[in-house]
Chains A and B, each alone.
Chain A
Amino acid sequence: MAKRIQSTIIIITVLLCAFVFALEAQNPKGKYGTFVLKNGTVQTVTRGVIQNGSVVIVNGKITAVGTNLSIPAEAEEIDCTGQWIFPGMIDSGTRLGLTEVRSDSRTTDFNEIGDIIPQMKALTAINPNSVLIPVTRINGVTTVLAAPEGDLIPGTAALINLYGYTPDQMFGGFEGLVLNFPKAGREGLADRRSEEDVKKAYDKAIARLNEVWDMAVQYHLLDSATKSKGVKYYPEMQAMMAVLRGERSVMVEANAAKDIQAALQWISARKVKKVILTGVSEGWRVAAEIKKAGIPVIVGPVLSLPDREYDRYDRAYSNPGLLKKAGVKVALRTKHAENVRNLPYHAAFAAAYGLGKEEALRSVTIVPAEIFGVADRLGSIEVGKNATLFVCDGDPFETRTAINLVFIDGWNVPMVSRQTQLYEEFLNREPGLSKK
């Protein structure tokens, strides 16, 4: 009898263990603590490459980088022999977290109603549990700018790190006002407005932008003079104040050469303090002017067609390199959601078509960190920065390279997404052809 009970207990224990193990394999959790990544090739980005180097991670931060380090006794050692260690890649313009299934408006939150709505905050609508997020981060893209889209000022974008269960846990320390500079031209083949209508719409948009900007200036002056006591609730104006005071960047989207030039003039005339140009697909046409204005750019998607039929076939690929050559500070974006994971390949194409590997790497790490003002936390592997990095078996811009480990804010992230789970389930499906 006792023996039977004993064996039953053993069986139950084994089953329970198997069950727990299976659960864990299905839904593994992130791990936080003290880690040492040992004997890897460390691509610091800012301080060269360290052969046989190690990186120590304590409480979310990088506490040591180099060779012959003293390792905390409690550290979990991870052997990185034959592996590379890179800082997490940053995508400087996406819809990630703001949309799940693109064609379904019920799952899409990047486009609120209103032509000037700076008070709409992307960070609010980030869905930390989006299925798209694990798909992205296990490819080494750890940080993205989630940006609203729409009319003239569709809202405020937010930098997020791709691990956490609330927007605040994910917040990456930067918010920027999005300004879609009015377009003087047509918008694609489907745009069948007359030339006159196009011009009318453009003039109207510029007038509207100027009107709101003027109001914001007045509001800011009134607010400053009365120490906020002389103004009423006015969410649009309150959201604009940080920009007028130089506390927040404006991200000015302009793509056609003419629109970029007009935007540069407007920025200069309005004495806008902190500006980033985004899109800039024809930046190569006016690169010298952008350089002269001293404004950094976020370019992309790199994998796209030229804007005009008569442009060279590879203009979208060569644009980042041509801008860099002119002396402009360049970061890259995919402007995607479900395939932000392809950021390294946008970088690879930019590299091959003129940007070069080194600059391409910078354009998805330290450069965006600098542009967003978070270079003290992100963008390179340096002591004191957030432990947001990944371990891979080769050049991360090469398609076949496997990303083996990802850390975000010191969390060792599970290397699982729904796409890998489907692979596990269906590679050798059970039952197969016959149910037996």
Chain B
Amino acid sequence: MKRIIGGLLLLLLSHLALGQVERGNILIRGGTVLTVTNGTLEGTDILVKDGKITQIGKNLTIQAGIKVIEADGMYVMPGIIDAHSHIGIDALNEATNPVTAEVFTGDALNPFQIGLYRALGGGVTTIHAMHGSANAIGGQCETIKLRYGVKDPEALRMAGAPRTIKFALGENPTRIHGSWNSIVPRTRMGVEFVIREALSKGKEYNEEWGVYNKLKNQKGFRGKAPEYSARLETLGDILNGNIIIHCHSYRADEIYMLLKVCQDFGIKKLVFQHVNEGFKVAPELANFGAMASVFADRWAYKFEVYYSTAYNAAILTKNGVTTSINSDDPELMRHLYHEAAKAEKYGALSDDEALALITLNPAKQLGIESRVGSIEVGKEADIAIFNGHPLSSYAIPMITIVDGIIRFDRDKDPDDVRIYVDPNQELDVSFKESGYDNVDNCMKDALQSFADFFETN
């Protein structure tokens, strides 16, 4: 018996150790610090203790046992945050029903993906690992930190980050469900109905449980609990304000539709993703307090993004919408700093406004702005160091730090960074990924399974 308890305890302890996040101590000396919230500080030091920024100033004292990074001539900015990505997970589209609020990308985390390291090589430290866009209401998403090197999926999670869920409007849900499977939605009318119906059921579910929870402790109550549903519970949590909606959308009409739906259901936490035509309803977005996470310049890969403009981020920002620039792509993700700079070309945003597009603003959209997104005392030490100004297209990310731990160092970049090597992998086979055409990354699993089914491409 003792041995069993001991064994259980050991198991528990090892589990705790596995899930634990490694935090470091570092002094970054003499860099040009782009704080995002407090302007640019020349020749400034940043002291990091136990994974947090504890001091920012000039000529801080070097303390014993703390690693020093000489950043003279370098640019130091907050780690880049990608509010729309699909790396670090092994599944992303539960394309079996127009509503799948019960599934969760956080159940499919994969810390071995090489993409995590490559993103670090672009100064990225936090990403929103999203469900795909096959369903009008897709799955819940996980906010993760790029702690590449850990082997435990749990260690990727940004513990305490708010819950988020993917919604999707337009061509993707109507194509998957309506055109291919002949179930609602086939049109944008159907998408609205599917969402209203789901939220209404979530509301009823909340009410039924509310009544039950109120009555169950009363003496003599003989009623039975309502049937549990993970899907309806999640929808109910959205209505309770516990989950942020991140909605895949392109056209102005469908964006406006969801604003009205959310208004009717009293939902306030709403971020539109892609939102290529967000610029057309910027006053409405601003008025609602909805946020927008856009591409810098992707367009024309499908009809609903034909009437786009690279000035989208600037128009939204100038209309008062909290805007971020995302990648939705493992390659684009590596140069979000360059994508942000495009908002200076297309619409003349300032340096600070452009940097906020990939730091503070995506942090706000994920509800983590009190922890990351700027260089401030008390924030988590997620930091990217560049050899030039990050808004220059010649700038190279040199060091990327997550929780005070160096996770990427260009000078020590090994030839092969894989943590896990598949023994069956045929090294000698050339392997050209045709990633270039996969602009609609949101549809990955859905299109693949469909292609398998019909043996088409």
A-to-B contact residues, CB < 8 Å = 100-104, 131-132, 183-190, 195, 198, 255-259, 281-282, 301, 303-305, 307-310, 312-314, 335, 337-339, 341-342, 344-345, 348-349, 351-353, 357, 397-402, 418-420, 422-423, 426-427, 429, 432-433
Contacts and interface: CB of A to CB of B under 8 A. Distances in A.
A217 to B, nearest CB: 29
15 contacts: A101-B301, A186-B429, A255-B432, A258-B430, A309-B114, A313-B417, A338-B300, A342-B297, A345-B393, A352-B394, A398-B392, A400-B344, A419-B308, A426-B282, A429-B280
B283 A188 contact: no
Interface in B365-422: 391-396, 413, 415-418, 421
A310 B414 CA distance: 10
B430 A305 contact: no
A195 B431 CA distance: 13
Contact of A399 (B279, B342, B431): B342
Contacts of B209: none
A141 to B, nearest CB: 14
B341 A399 contact: yes
Contacts of A185: 429-432
Contacts of B330: 305
- Centre residue among A101, A198, A258, A397 by max chain B CB count within 10 A: A101
B299 interface: yes
A429 B341 CA distance: 24
Contact of A195 (B283, B309, B394, B426): B426
Contacts of B211: none
Given A100-B300, A256-B431, A256-B432, 9 more contacts: A131-B306, A132-B300, A310-B421, A313-B117, A357-B394, A397-B393, A397-B394, A399-B344, A419-B309
Interface string B412-452: 01011110010000110111111111011000000010010
A104 B436 CA distance: 17
A303 B284 contact: no
Nearest to A403: B345
B394 A104 contact: no
A185 B330 CA distance: 22
Interface in B292-308: 297-303, 306-308
Contacts of A422: 279, 307-309, 311
Contacts of A426: 279-280, 282, 309, 315
B301 A102 contact: yes
Contact of B298 (A281, A339, A423): A339
A255 to B, nearest CB: 5
Contact of B311 (A103, A335, A345, A427): A427
A397 B345 CA distance: 12
B121 A314 contact: yes
A351 B335 CA distance: 15
Interface in B124-149: none
A335 B432 CA distance: 15
A305 B433 contact: yes
Given A312-B415, A399-B341, A103 B431 contact: no
Contacts of A305: 118, 330-331, 433, 435
A102 B303 CA distance: 8
Contacts of B311: 419-420, 422-423, 427
A187 B396 contact: no
A352 B393 CA distance: 8
A104 B304 CA distance: 11
Contact of B433 (A259, A307, A398, A427): A307
B391 A187 contact: no
Interface string B243-286: 00000000000000000000000000000000000011011100
A329 to B, nearest CB: 23
B310 interface: yes
- Centre residue among A102, A309, A357, A433 by max chain B CB count within 10 A: A309
Contacts of B287: 433
Contacts of A198: 429
B289 interface: no
Contact of A348 (B346, B394, B417): B394
Contacts of A257: 430
B338 A399 contact: yes
Contact of B418 (A190, A304, A309): A309
- Centre residue among B280, B330, B429 by max chain A CB count within 10 A: B429
Nearest to A306: B118
Given A102-B301, A342-B297, A419-B311, A402 B431 contact: no
A104 B314 CA distance: 29
Contacts of A190: 448, 451
B347 interface: yes
Top 5 A-B pairs, shortest CB-CB distance: A256-B430, A185-B430, A348-B393, A338-B300, A399-B341
B364 interface: no
Contacts of B395: 352
Contacts of A313: 117-118, 121, 334, 413, 417
A186 B431 contact: yes
A201 to B, nearest CB: 13
A298 B299 CA distance: 25
Contacts of B314: 423, 427
Nearest to B387: A352
Contacts of B347: 423, 427
B318 interface: yes
Contacts of A419: 308-311, 346
A12 B306 CA distance: 38
B345 A304 contact: no
A427 to B, nearest CB: 5
B187 to A, nearest CB: 18
Contacts of A310: 415-416, 418, 421, 427
Contacts of B431: 185-186, 188, 256, 307-308
A70 to B, nearest CB: 37
A113 to B, nearest CB: 14
Contact of A400 (B282, B307, B341, B396): B341
Nearest to B413: A312
Nearest to A104: B303
A188 B433 contact: yes
A399 B391 contact: yes
Nearest to B299: A338
B69 to A, nearest CB: 20
Contacts of A132: 300
A399 B315 CA distance: 18
A277 B392 CA distance: 31
Nearest to B119: A313
A342 B339 CA distance: 11
A304 B436 contact: yes
A349 B434 CA distance: 20
Contact of A351 (B306, B309, B342, B394): B394
Nearest to A342: B297
Contact of A345 (B121, B338, B413): B338
A335 B330 CA distance: 18
A64 B306 CA distance: 41
Interface string B111-123: 0001001100100
Nearest to B283: A433
Given A104-B302, A309-B418, A335 B436 contact: yes
A106 to B, nearest CB: 10
Contacts of B303: 101, 103-104
A256 to B, nearest CB: 3
A180 to B, nearest CB: 11
Given A102-B300, A104-B302, A398-B392, A427 B315 contact: yes
